[in-house]
Structure 1
């Protein structure tokens, strides 16, 4: 019998991404467990947590790079575990991803980097590609940099080019891995508003994997906080800001003392590794 306290995963055109009792990790090592989350079209959802809390692992599960150890990942109505390689490839065309390192092609100029997905996955004419790419570059303030090589732009500018490329296909679901990293304060605010405006205009779902509390809280509809291998808190920015939970309070305030540990926890896998290292000496 279904648990009435848990969200239903009945197929819905409104739900772009859902994790249902997800456990995911690497090999036999589980990083996250009991993850229940739904992201609806038009929503901006921020996933936050300390370094090593599993944020990027969750993103990899959403793109099908990491299969579930338990539970399900449902993207745009498709259960990823039931898709063939071709089916997963087709689904990814409906998604946009801003990678943490930008992942720009160093042998292409700014324009061609942003145009690349359009050339690979659409039959748009050159005139249509030109106007679409220039519009996306204009949105991130870099239209006049279209002709520059990637080696000629700063790291912050490269992040904005990568953002333009992530949205150029106008996807239904966009995953942002640390979208504010390396940006100056002005670019950070502009980028945050661009993410919000893109979700509103396209009606797409946006998921931010981020450490940045201020900018994320200014645009997010919901925020989830990862810790201790699971979701420790979730709600609107206002609800989390008002939370008296020690874990939430320490993370949002950046306090050094509290339940969020600085040191990566010792695990049986570490102890086994250490024993092997000492035994070999």
Structure 2
């Protein structure tokens, strides 16, 4: 694993005592995480553990019920309008399904953020887009339609689009989901290489242990509504915590129960429908 480089003392992204939820349902409580420039950090946990909720909070889509979220030293929850737009411009997001525009070719998909957020002349847009496509190995695919490329290639095009503005923070939502082993390995090494090249901070929302552990500097593991563990991949691999071991080993038995836990909201719903929880 390659360590992050040139990390300053101030975090690019910091959660301090953060509680997140929707209406009366609390998803995560008292979360503390910190991501430095040059680091690749993984946020891991089972399905429904709140990983994507953390990504939404980092980009200001939802506000914390308690605690503070800072991006580039600014309180994300207090940012409104133009201030929030400027914060988001300093971030890149790779969505789980890529979210490419099917009516645009590869080049125009990557060029889209430049056309939306800059006044760069066409020659500069051409240079920047081809540079980022070259970084993901797809410079010669610039002319192709989205329907003419594979799923793994589409994920790389989406990655090129996420970094074309050279953001200071890149957030990846399940970047390895649905990829074949070769494409998965390529995607993992690209994330590490591009983080080092741009000297940005990268956060992976993932449940893929093997590929993530091979490239990240630090891991935060969430589950059961809280931060279960944090540390380097080596530290977590050596952990004897029952939740950590169940997740890393993929064991069917452990603290992660098969049945979704009952909540007050569920009991209220059952009562309103004449049922017994």
Q: What is the distance in 1 between the residues matched to 2:131 and 2:241? A: 44
* Preserved contact between residue 46 and residue 224 of structure 1 (Cα < 8 Å): yes
Q: Deviations over 1:39-91 (max 9, x none)?
A: 01111100000000000000000000011111111001110122121100111
Q: What is the distance in 2 between the residues matched to 1:266 and 1:202? A: 45
For residues 161-180 of structure 1, the aligned pairs below 5 Å read: 161-180=157-176
Gap runs ≥5 in structure 2: 1-7
Partner of 2:195: 199
Q: What is the distance in 1 between the residues matched to 2:249 and 2:219? A: 15
User: Does residue 250 of structure 1 match 2:239?
Assistant: no
Q: What is the distance in 2 between the residues matched to 1:25 and 1:146? A: 41
Partner of 2:89: 93
User: Does residue 114 of structure 1 match 2:120?
Assistant: no
Tell me by how many angstroms 1:189 deviates: 1.2
Partner of 1:6: none
Instruction: Tell me the secondary structure at the aligned position of residue 105 of structure 1.
Output: coil
* Preserved contact between residue 52 and residue 264 of structure 1 (Cα < 8 Å): no
User: Does residue 131 of structure 1 match 2:127?
Assistant: yes
Instruction: Tell me the secondary structure at the aligned position of residue 69 of structure 2.
Output: strand
Kindly report the root-mean-square deviation, in angstroms, between the aligned alpha carbons of the 2 structures.
Answer: 1.3
Greater Cα shift, 67-76 or 138-147: 138-147
User: Does residue 39 of structure 1 match 2:30?
Assistant: no
* Preserved contact between residue 43 and residue 203 of structure 2 (Cα < 8 Å): yes
Q: What is the distance in 2 between the residues matched to 1:190 and 1:151? A: 21
Tell me by how many angstroms 1:31 deviates: 0.6
Partner of 2:142: 146
User: Does residue 240 of structure 1 match 2:236?
Assistant: yes
Q: What is the distance in 2 between the residues matched to 1:72 and 1:239? A: 27
Q: What is the distance in 1 between the residues matched to 2:150 and 2:192? A: 24
Q: What is the distance in 1 between the residues matched to 2:270 and 2:145? A: 46
Gap runs ≥5 in structure 1: 1-11
Q: What is the distance in 1 between the residues matched to 2:261 and 2:183? A: 35
Tell me by how many angstroms 1:154 deviates: 2.7
Partner of 2:48: 52
Tell me by how many angstroms 1:13 deviates: 6.3
Partner of 1:160: 156
Q: What is the distance in 2 between the residues matched to 1:136 and 1:181? A: 22
Alignment: residue pair count: 268
Runs (4+) of structure 1 exceeding 6 A deviation are none
Partner of 1:190: 186
